[in-house]
Amino acid sequence: MDTELAAAYDRCRELHRRHGRTYYLATRLLPAWKRRHVHALYGFTRYADEIVDRTDGLSAAERASRLDDWAGRFLAGLHGEQVDDPLLPAVLHTIAVFDLDRNDFAAFLKSMAMDLTVSSYPSYQHLLDYMEGSAAAIGTMMLPILGSSDPVAAREPARQLGFAFQLTNFIRDVGEDLARGRTYLPDEDLDRFGVTRHELAEASARGRVTPAIRALVAFEVTRAQAHYAAAAPGITLLAPASQACMRTAYALYGGILDEVAAQDYDVFARRAVVPGRRRLSVAARSLLAPTGTPVVVPGPPTRPALDRVDHEVIAAPRRTDRQ
C-alpha cells in the first residue's frame, strides 16, 4: 500500500475512533484486513456529515456548495481521475476491492443534501425515504465487506439494521437535532401524541420532558425495536469472522434504547450512553459466543409512560397548530 493510500486509511480510522466510539469498539473484533475498509466507509459518511452539520458560520447554500464540490471529487475518483483529498483514496480503494454498488453512495449523498433543506418529515414513510440513503444504503455498503453465506437473504436484514441504528440516534439526539433546526420524529407522530416542535424545544431547554413527549419517545423506541427484530436473522448469515463485530454493534446500539427507557424516556435529562463497563462486557461475550449464536432481540419498552397517555392523548383530538 502506497504512502498516500495508507495515510487516507489512517485518517478514516482516526475519524472513526474519535466520533464513532460504539461502532469503533465493535469494529475492533473484525480481522485487521477488514477493519480498514469499515473505517473507510465510516470516514466517508462522517466527513459528509461534518460538511452538513459542523461547518459553523456557513450558510446552507455555502454548505451545499462544499458538499457538491466534495461529491464531485468523489465521482471523479470513481471515474479513475486522481483525487487530491485526505480520505477519499481509501474510500475509492475500498469500493474497488469489494466492487461496492455506486448507487448506495449516490443515495447517501442525496440524503445528506436533504439535510440542508429539509427540517422535518410529515410521515414515517417520508422519513424512511430519507433513511434509504442515510441508513439502509450504509447497511448494504457494509455487507460485502462483512461477507455472508447468503448475500441475497442477508441484504434486507442489513437494511433493517441501518434503519434501527439511525432511529436509535434520532431518539437519543432529539435535542441536538432541534438545535440544528431539525426534527426526525415524524409530524404525524407528534400530532398523535399532541406535541408540537415548539413544545419539544421548550422541553429541551428545560432539560425535562412532558408526559406527552415521554409517551412519544416510548412509541419511537417501540418502532426502532421492530427494526432490530427484523435485522436479527441477518447476524448469523454473516461470515463467521464478522459475527462478533455485528453482534456487539447490535447489542450496544440496542443498549442505548435500554438507557433511554431506564431514564423513563427523558431524552433531555442527559444523553443516553451505554456505560463503559457494559460495553466491554458485551464485546467480550460476543467474541466468546460460538459462530451462529443468535442475537438477543430487544424486548418491548417498559409500558408505564406509554400507558399513561394511550387513553388521555391518543384518543384526544389531534393537534394541528404545528410550530
Domain boundaries, the chain: 1-117, 118-323
Q: What is the pLDDT of residue 301?
A: 55
| 1-117 and 118-323 share one fold | yes
Cell of 57: 458560520
C-alpha angle 197-201-207 in degrees, rounded to nearest 5? 140
CA 255 to chain CA mean position, Å: 14
Cell of 281: 462486557
Q: Which CATH class is domain 1-117?
A: mainly alpha
* 16 and 8 Cβ atoms separated by less than 8 Å: no
* 87 and 124 Cβ atoms separated by less than 8 Å: no
Question: What is the spatial distance between Cα 286 and Cα 17, in angstroms, rounded to a whole number?
Answer: 20
* 56 and 73 Cβ atoms separated by less than 8 Å: no
* 76 and 83 Cβ atoms separated by less than 8 Å: yes
* 197 and 207 Cβ atoms separated by less than 8 Å: no
User: Rg of the chain's alpha carbons, rounded to an integer?
Assistant: 20
Q: What is the pLDDT of residue 306?
A: 54
Q: CA-CA-CA-CA torsion for 113, 115, 120, 124, nearest 10 degrees?
A: 70
Cell of 129: 425515504
Question: What is the spatial distance between Cα 78 and Cα 102, in angstroms, rounded to a whole number?
Answer: 9
CATH number of 118-323: 1.10.600.10
Residue 226 half-sphere exposure toward CB, CA atoms < 13 A: 6
Record the pTM: 0.91
Q: What is the pLDDT of residue 321?
A: 41
Q: What is the pLDDT of residue 305?
A: 53
Q: What is the pLDDT of residue 323?
A: 41
C-alpha angle 60-64-66 in degrees, rounded to nearest 5? 120
Largest CA distance in the chain: 64
Q: What is the pLDDT of residue 302?
A: 54
Average pLDDT by stretches of 10, the chain with 323 residues:
90 93 90 96 94 84 94 94 93 97 96 95 97 97 97 98 97 94 96 96 94 97 96 97 94 94 94 88 89 84 52 39 41
- Residue 295 sits at φ, ψ, to 5 deg, of -80, 160
Q: What is the pLDDT of residue 113?
A: 95
Q: What is the pLDDT of residue 1?
A: 62
Nearest to 100 by CA among 52, 158, 166: 158
Residue for grid cell 437473504: 153
* 185 and 209 Cβ atoms separated by less than 8 Å: no
Question: What is the spatial distance between Cα 112 and Cα 115, in angstroms, rounded to a whole number?
Answer: 5
* 245 and 27 Cβ atoms separated by less than 8 Å: yes
Q: How far is CA 85 from CA 12, 68, 94, 138, in A?
A: 12, 14, 15, 22
The residue type found at 158 is: A
Q: What is the pLDDT of residue 223?
A: 96
Residue 247 half-sphere exposure toward CB, CA atoms < 13 A: 28
**Partners of residue 148 on adjacent β-strands:** 238
